[in-house]
Chains A and B, each alone.
Chain A
């Protein structure tokens, strides 16, 4: 595989496959456990069981479709991790294994696409679990989701203009031993945080809270756990975009590499990356908890009237500064 093919290390492919299968299985086990616990300790409220999944809309085989949608949403969320580089390289034996899929020059767009596909999961969940005012719930969810996803897309575009690339590896290496993007793009960072906090919570809105509140089967638990997977991976993505990714702050990575070698640098970078991710995820969880207090109609209004114009102004301002 030479030339302008996407070159992929086989070990990396196996690692990602194992990751996807393992996380899917673990989440499935966790969802089953939650469902069992619900069945045992919560007395199910009438009319909210798994049995009445929207017979009026799906017809004969509703449950298979909803289950398939849950698993697919989880896999799509985990797929975000495949394009995020976790470090520079690691030396196994005598060869350097680079820890990113080389030259995925659509990396950021790929993550946006996977994020956007999450709307199907939300639609399937509401379609199956909301009983009263289903159309209203679906449209409120769609409006909120589109506002957030649009604002996030608009917030990323100035970064792509700064880096002149859509390759995540390029964006990280531009921040290496230099100023992090957050100091150029603070509004974008905040918009990404808000958007992720809203999007990663399937039970965010009032309808969602109605869904999550009652004891449900393992499928609904799986949808909710997918939100956490998405939260963690989007935290990773935001770290890579705005906080320098695996770059170690205050020290020159190059000097460290010369001094200690590749493997030590890999471990140090891993520690640095994990620390940053934990910080971002903590902020995200806090934001989510705060935003949970507000009604969804207020959130939709903020999204369309405040956040999206702010993202547009940020985009235009960055363009003017870059050209001038």
Chain B
């Protein structure tokens, strides 16, 4: 219990700090890097709960693929930096108050719930690759195939959104 407890607090602090980093950092680069740190912290929580497959999928898909996509998007977008974002103080204060209220309401809603422990019962092998694979390819086969179709349609749709229908700009003007 001791080691799990300490690791939980370390990972939770890391996740909280990374989330705050996303929120408050002025530069988008640091937001993206904080997001990657956050994904690693959450993967650490998964490993702590013995959900190894999800931990590694989280690292591969979110920290790997999605983080890289964010970085490349940042590279493209940062390269023509000319606008300063408009800051509206009242909207910021209202947003902070609203989200804090949401936090209070959500926490109050579960405060009466019965106490439960996250238990790793030996022998069930939940969260291991073979168990998830068995379930995924027997009971959840149709959702799995449909999600594959979704990914394919996203691939096509992204290209359609991003494709340049106008004549290409002068490449000399796109400099870093």
A113 in contact with B59 given A105-B52, A106-B53, A135-B174 (CB within 8 Å): yes
Q: How far is the CA of A161 from the CA of B33 in the complex (A)?
A: 35
The answer to whether B64 and A5 have CB atoms under 8 Å apart is: no
Partner of B120, one of A4, A105, A110, A142: A4
Q: Tell whether A22 is near chain B: CB-to-CB under 8 Å.
A: no
What residues of chain B lie closer than 8 Å to A138, measured between beta carbons? 72, 75
Q: Tell whether B129 is near chain A: CB-to-CB under 8 Å.
A: yes
The answer to whether A3 and B123 have CB atoms under 8 Å apart is: yes
Q: How far is the CA of A195 from the CA of B155 in the complex (A)?
A: 24
Q: How far is the CA of A244 from the CA of B76 in the complex (A)?
A: 45
Q: How far is the CA of A110 from the CA of B53 in the complex (A)?
A: 10
- Contact residues of A: prevailing secondary structure: helix
What residues of chain A lie closer than 8 Å to B76, measured between beta carbons? 135
The number of inter-chain residue pairs (CB within 8 angstroms) is 72
What residues of chain B lie closer than 8 Å to A142, measured between beta carbons? 68, 72
The answer to whether A113 and B56 have CB atoms under 8 Å apart is: yes
Q: Tell whether B50 is near chain A: CB-to-CB under 8 Å.
A: yes
The answer to whether B72 and A4 have CB atoms under 8 Å apart is: no
- Contact residues of B: prevailing secondary structure: helix
CB within 8 Å of B: which of A120-163? 120, 123, 127, 134-135, 138-139, 142
Partner of B176, one of A6, A117, A134: A134
Q: Tell whether B27 is near chain A: CB-to-CB under 8 Å.
A: yes
Q: How far is the CA of A68 from the CA of B72 in the complex (A)?
A: 20
Residues of B within 8 A of A (CB): 27, 29, 33, 36, 50, 52-53, 55-57, 59-60, 63-64, 67-68, 71-72, 75-76, 78-79, 120-125, 128-130, 174, 176
Known interface pairs A4-B128, A5-B50, A6-B50; 17 further A-B residue pairs with C-beta atoms within 8 A, sorted by A's residue number: A2-B122, A3-B123, A4-B123, A58-B29, A105-B128, A106-B56, A109-B57, A109-B60, A110-B56, A113-B56, A113-B59, A116-B60, A117-B63, A117-B64, A135-B75, A135-B76, A135-B79
Closest 4 CB pairs of A and B: A3-B122, A116-B64, A134-B176, A109-B56
